[in-house]
Amino acid sequence: MRIITRRKIYRAFPELDRFSDEQCREYIRRVRLSQLRELALFLSLLFVGVGSLMGAVHLTRTILDSPDERRLQVELIVRGMAWAYVLGWVVYLFLVAATPCLLTLLTRDIVLGAFLKQALHGHLKRTACPGCRYQLLGLPLGDAGAVRCPECGRRTTILELGLDGPEDLLPAAGGHTVS
């Protein structure tokens, strides 16, 4: 979604197949996450980030306190290979610092993806015809904000569907906005 994953999550929904990527991205921007879900996302990221950082610090202290580490350090210094010891620690510390960051980003993508899928499913249920469950996304609005279902012919207003406005039905597949 952001840095690690570049999936097009909207392509997991066959109802959105007839729309362009730009239209789907705009649709996803309108389907907002609730504040409770945003808090859950923040707490899960905090837990993973802090937990993995604490694990990395503990591992580093364990290695530094081991007698084998001290023997290796002395042996490399005696052989004139202190640079190898320093280089090894630079690489190790980079990996230790990168691991919590990568785990946090991966967790964010997984949790955000799950929340977004759930929000999209809920919104797609609301944009279905109450009579036959045919998807009304992209259909033009008629008079008084009503849309006619091409499947069963039922006339439904956006208020009956529980939508905020005509933009919740997406622009038409041809790229024109719903008026």
**Residue 129: predicted pLDDT:** 92
Residue 19 in tokens: 């729309």
**Residue 170: predicted pLDDT:** 67
Mean of the pLDDT values across residues 161-172?
73
Q: How far is the CA of 119 from the CAs of 8, 28, 92, 167, in angstroms?
A: 15, 9, 40, 17
**Residue 146: predicted pLDDT:** 87
- Under the banding of pLDDT at 50, 70 and 90, the label for residue 1 is very low
**Residue 130: predicted pLDDT:** 92
- Whether the predicted pLDDT of 152 surpasses 90: yes
The string of DSSP codes covering 76-143 is HHHTT-HHHHHHHHHHHHHHHHHHHHHHHHHHHHHHHHHHHHHHHHHHHHHTB-TTT--B-TTPPP-G
Cα angle 158, 163, 168 (rounded to 5 degrees) comes to 95
Residue 34 in tokens: 């609730």
**Residue 32: predicted pLDDT:** 60
What digits encode the pLDDT tens for the residues 61-105? Answer: 787 777 887 787 778 778 888 787 788 888 888 888 888 888 888
Give the C-alpha separation, 120 to 27, whole Å.
9
Q: How far is the CA of 86 from the CAs of 72, 96, 98, 99, 124, in angstroms?
A: 12, 15, 18, 20, 56
- The chain-wide mean pLDDT, for the chain, equals 78
At residue 157, what are phi and psi to the nearest 5 degrees? Answer: -90, 160
Question: What percent of the chain stands above pLDDT 90?
Answer: 7
- Whether the predicted pLDDT of 114 surpasses 90: no
User: Which residue shows structure tokens 């306190």?
Assistant: 65
**Bridge partners of 169?**
none
Nearest to 177 by CA among 148, 140, 142: 140
Give the C-alpha separation, 81 to 30, whole Å.
59
What digits encode the pLDDT tens for the residues 21-42? Answer: 888 877 777 766 666 777 777 8
